[in-house]
Structure 1
């Protein structure tokens, strides 16, 4: 037995059966010689539990003898000093999930109702659509190829910085006619996306994929999204446009008025059906909202708007599509943007209208719980008690709030 060198390795001729050439200087370092002529370096060692293992280092020709020796020293040194099992680690890494794999598994579980949201119920399809968008546009491009077992807090921090800086920002066409996809960066996007990532990694912990969540304890940027509210002069400017907006489809006019006078979410008005509207009781009985089935009180001012377009045999969508009346309106947010441009206002969205409704209610000294119950806010304790039945006190409050907004618009 001699020290393995290039000369010794080159002289090791193939035999009828595979055989081993050991290195005399480094115990456990050797070379397999295959009958076909290939030669492979390996290390032979015992695990901390006493099991004998052999792990290949590389094929001669792909690496040199000295390179193989250095790798063998590193491997055997790790076994002695850190009590590791390098072969088991290699096998574990080969079978480990990437972040892309984990995200796909998470979404499959969520679609089966196995992932619960903050309400303790399975995530809604609309929420899953949002989650999917954040995964595809931010998480996979930045972390998709990384093994989940390799994720560190520093990786999560870098992810936040990259999303905040707009590294994943994107603008392009969607599958819908004249549709557009706008993926933004910024602190708000980073905060919401890393919140989702933290949930995905918590799922990984629960599945035994990793032992702890690397996103836990990582400082997130403050999510300062959509805090803008309308002031009296802005309500008046919008009211003036809504009274003289012949250039805007009627769905945009009515939809904007309903958002202003009810505090509903954009999707709740877009998908509102006449079967869910009760003008006599002054309420919407929503079959599906962000917080599930919900009863929303509405004021007389909103009822008057609905009466403008309600026919004797009203059925189907309250706001039918402009080109395809059999479907609901699909461009209300665009129509709102057009109306706000005509009013000379910048940065006013459907959520701004909802937030402004709540702000006017607060100006009228209604409590957070009352406001939350009226607009169906998921964070309101009162909401859980009132969303499934109509309360006359809330109807009276909705009357006063919507009347005040109508007054400011006029």
Structure 2
């Protein structure tokens, strides 16, 4: 071991001699350059972790030579030695940090140990997409305990064009860190998503009117019988090769039935696509779902829904089978796209059929608690989104106010307001 002023020129002059050796700086005690047998050079600082000769000796690697300048390394060494003087053990802390997973590693453990075991498949897939597509590419290499609110907020802001997705990123990150805190991966209570203001989300509800429902019904009937004609893009060079007899879009009877069941029951898409004939009790007119988004669920079937189910052929264990009869149909994207385009309902989603079912109930004065039970809502707040459609109390109030105003205008301020005739 030798002592000299560590400079760039001095480091370049150091030659490997087949064994490891260290050259120490003559101005900062404990700071030096280590040269390995391979020729690799790195800045190090050596200190005793504690007081007295019995205290263990620690070696802290600052950085590889070439990554930072000797002056920068010397200042880092002074900082490290200063923390040692205040009772800290930087080398031990660094070793502990190496055991802390990165955000990507935490995400993988979160998915494997928690989400896939305790969340429904659809929810698990949603979490996986958010983490793999958005979170990992942005902050995946950061140590889990080092992810800051600033980094998370910056990621959230970068998704401003899709506010719903941006807010779901905060929710997933928050859930992941709650898991990390419970399992001791990070300090409990650590949540880099806490306190970040969410974007305002526009309401996504879309309610079909009576006229729109009439057009949708006609499109479904056409699609399952004669087929919906579709226009060929003549500018496409392959268009001329499309056989004319194939220029009709037809949907299968099970797909048409699924669309009607979504409207008649207000069910979620997966509740219909994963429906088995075993869940259908025709005598009592109910569906007994062993599992749904909110757990076990009983669906009261009305006459139109019963007519749809009773008119279907049982060719599989599933009411709406896929190409493989042993499995349910995966989605209704193609038939839904065909019938909505034919009906002129651009932008209407399948989930809007559930909103439409609820909107007709609310507008009919059925009351939000009843609608909530029909839809299987676990929280009353979920049904409250339809409160503005429950206009029966508002209609009575409006009639009362206008009646008094009309009486005053007619010069009969003391006239009794005639009771409102019950609407049919």
For the aligned pair, the TM-score class normalised by the smaller chain equals: 0.7 to 0.9
2:49 corresponds to 1:71: no
Change (3 A) 1:55 1:251: same
> What are the Cα deviations for residues 358-398 of structure 1, in whole angstroms up to 9, with x where unaligned?
11111122233321221222324999xxxxxxxxxxxxxxx
The Cα shift of 1:52 comes to 4.4
2:163 corresponds to 1:162: no
Q: Which residue of 2 aligns with 1:141?
A: 137
2:292 corresponds to 1:265: no
SS of 1:56's equivalent?
strand
Matches within 5 A, 1:82-101: 84-101=88-105
Q: Which residue of 2 aligns with 1:244?
A: 222
Q: Which residue of 1 aligns with 2:26?
A: 24
* Alignment partners' CA distance in 2, 1:134 and 1:36: 43
Q: Which residue of 1 aligns with 2:321?
A: 320
Change (3 A) 1:104 1:15: closer
The Cα shift of 1:72 comes to 2.3
2:211 corresponds to 1:233: yes
SS of 2:61's equivalent?
strand
The Cα shift of 1:62 comes to 7.1
Which of 300, 303, 306 lines up with 2:306 in the alignment?
303
Checking the alignment, whether the CA contact within 8 Å between 1:227 and 1:352 is kept in structure 2 is yes
Change (3 A) 1:336 1:5: closer
Q: Which residue of 1 aligns with 2:377?
A: 377
Checking the alignment, whether the CA contact within 8 Å between 2:219 and 2:339 is kept in structure 1 is yes
The Cα shift of 1:152 comes to 0.8
Change (3 A) 1:90 1:308: same
Checking the alignment, whether the CA contact within 8 Å between 2:4 and 2:23 is kept in structure 1 is no
* Alignment partners' CA distance in 1, 2:278 and 2:66: 76
* Alignment partners' CA distance in 1, 2:38 and 2:328: 70
* Alignment partners' CA distance in 1, 2:12 and 2:328: 76
The Cα shift of 1:135 comes to 1.8
> What are the Cα deviations for residues 216-274 of structure 1, in whole angstroms up to 9, with x where unaligned?
11111234363111122212221222333322322232111111110001111112121
Q: Which residue of 2 aligns with 1:214?
A: 192
Q: Which residue of 2 aligns with 1:342?
A: 342
Bigger mean CA offset, 245-254 vs 95-104:
245-254
The Cα shift of 1:48 comes to 7.3
The Cα shift of 1:46 comes to 4.5
Equivalent residue pairs, number = 351
Q: State TM-score, norm by structure 1.
A: 0.74
Checking the alignment, whether the CA contact within 8 Å between 1:263 and 1:353 is kept in structure 2 is yes
Bigger mean CA offset, 340-349 vs 10-19:
10-19
The Cα shift of 1:106 comes to 0.6
Checking the alignment, whether the CA contact within 8 Å between 1:226 and 1:351 is kept in structure 2 is no
SS of 1:164's equivalent?
coil
The Cα shift of 1:32 comes to 4.7
Change (3 A) 1:128 1:65: closer
Matches within 5 A, 1:94-109: 94-109=98-113
Bigger relative CO (Cα 8 Å, ≥ 6 apart): 1
Change (3 A) 1:58 1:303: closer
Q: Which runs of 5+ in 1 are unaligned?
A: 114-121, 166-185, 384-410
The Cα shift of 1:284 comes to 0.8
* Alignment partners' CA distance in 1, 2:145 and 2:266: 45
Change (3 A) 1:38 1:225: same
Q: Which runs of 5+ in 2 are unaligned?
A: 228-249, 384-424
Checking the alignment, whether the CA contact within 8 Å between 1:373 and 1:382 is kept in structure 2 is no
Q: Which residue of 1 aligns with 2:332?
A: 332
* Alignment partners' CA distance in 2, 1:142 and 1:263: 39
Bigger mean CA offset, 220-229 vs 147-156:
220-229
Checking the alignment, whether the CA contact within 8 Å between 2:6 and 2:32 is kept in structure 1 is no
Bigger mean CA offset, 62-71 vs 24-33:
62-71
The Cα shift of 1:61 comes to 7.1
Checking the alignment, whether the CA contact within 8 Å between 2:6 and 2:24 is kept in structure 1 is no
> What are the Cα deviations for residues 122-175 of structure 1, in whole angstroms up to 9, with x where unaligned?
31223212222222222222222222122111111111122334xxxxxxxxxx
Which of 196, 203, 222 lines up with 2:172 in the alignment?
196
* Alignment partners' CA distance in 1, 2:15 and 2:160: 60
